[in-house]
Amino acid sequence: MEVMLLQLFNGISVSSILLLIALGLAVTFGLMNVINMAHGEMIMIGAYAAFVTQNIFRAALPGEMFDWYFALAVPVSFLVCFLFGLLLESSLIRFLYGRPLDSLLATWGVGLALQQAARSIFGAPNVAVTSPGWLNGGWTVMEGVVLPYKRLFIIALVAVVLLLMYVYIYRTAEGRRMRAVMQNRDMAACLGISTRRVDALTFAVGSGIAGIAGCALTLIGPIGPSIGTYYIVDAFMVVVLGGVGKLIGTVLGALGIGMANTLFEFWTTASLGKVLVFLAVVLFLQWKPRGIIAVRTRSLDS
């Protein structure tokens, strides 16, 4: 009984982590159709931004303030990756719209360059981020069922990010322009929307969200130059399964993969579980090539 409860929670937790790493990609890949292989490296940059914030707090501020560095690290990671995304878009991505294969190769190259840059700046070994004291420990629901605060925090963080994204995309003028450009670029341009500006902003927002993911992942995973490669496969799988172009699809995709992964892993082994999940996703895409939620737009058809 306890184990089933715990596994249910683990499933939700894994789903939330998957959703967090996939949300940024849902924007850059899902909305903009840029096959962004450097997404994992954006996560890495976010993680290192958290690491640097921690070090600044440790060096410059009194000890009792240290626990609050993480509250600042989240926006800092977002901002750093946002600016990085802006730079990447204006210097490279904008020349590659509508050329998926080229953008795939180019962003992969960017990813490799970023990995090596991180290696040169921070050194090849992993770095340690000390998690703040208030996130240590867990909530004991009953004997044998402990829900770690860090995982609860990540679930909450995902909910907040999702809400903000929803408001941004569906309730603001900026978001309306973004959707307009995505659905029909030419028409949007005719109506006086600066598609260049919208593209740049959208890509930067997607990158920024990847930064938040990187920051959150420092709580539970390794922080090193190659962490992006561990998450990129899952991120793409979630977006592709969920269906390109709709946030709710990404949410469902993450839940489906997260739950299936936890269950399969529990019933079989970690390696076989992963294989089964992949198989299930491939079969599902045979049946519904556009994923769980299919959007029909002209930009996707062309």
Partner 1 sequence: MRNRRKKWLSAMMLVLAFALVLAGCGGGGGNAGSGGSPASGSGGGSSNESAGGAETSGDSGDAGEGEIKVGILHSLSGTMAISEVSVKDAELLAIEEINAQGGVLGKKIVPIIEDGASDWPTFAEKARKLISEDKVATVFGGWTSASRKAMLPVFEELNGLLWYPVQYEGLEASPNIFYTGATTNQQIVPSVTWLLKNRGKKFFLLGSDYVFPRTANKIIKAQLQAEGGEVVGEEYTPLGHTDYSTIISKIKQANPDVVYNTLNGDSNVAFFKQLKDAGITAQDLTTLSVSIAEEEIRGIGADVLEGHLAAWNYYQTTDTPENKAFVEAYKAKYGEDRVTADPIEAGYIAVYLWAAAVEKAGTTDVDAVREAAKGIEWNAPEGKVTVDGDNQHIYKTVRIGEVQADGMFKELWATDGPVKPDPYLAGYEWAAGLAEE
Among 54, 207, 250, 262, binds partner 1 (CB under 8 A): 262
Minimum distance between the CB of residue 150 and partner 1, rounded to whole angstroms?
5
User: Using CB under 8 A, which residues numbered 154 to 213 contact partner 1?
Assistant: none
In terms of CB distance, is 198 or 235 closer to partner 1?
Answer: 235
Among 68, 230, 276, 299, binds partner 1 (CB under 8 A): 230
The binder of partner 1 chosen from 42, 181, 210, 223 (CB under 8 A): 223
Of these, 117, 159, 187, 270, which contacts partner 1 (CB under 8 A)?
270
Q: Which of left, alpha, beta for 185 (phi over 0: left; psi -120 to 50: alpha)?
A: alpha
CA gyration radius, the chain: 19
Given 183, 195, 229, 299, the residue binding partner 1 (CB under 8 A): 229
Query: What residues from 76 to 115 belong to the interface with partner 1 (CB under 8 A)?
Result: 100, 104, 108
Candidates 89-97, 162-170, 188-196, 217-225; binding stretch for partner 1 (CB under 8 A): 217-225
Taking CB under 8 A as the criterion, the residue among 34, 35, 88, 114 binding partner 1 is: 35
Pull the structure tokens for residue 124: 């090849």
Cα separation, 272 vs 60, in Å, equals: 48
Q: Which residues bind partner 1 (CB under 8 A)?
A: 3, 6-7, 10, 13-14, 17, 35, 37, 100, 104, 108, 116, 119, 124-131, 136-138, 140, 144, 146, 148-151, 219-224, 226-233, 236-237, 240, 261-262, 265-266, 269-271, 273-274, 285-286, 289-290, 300-301
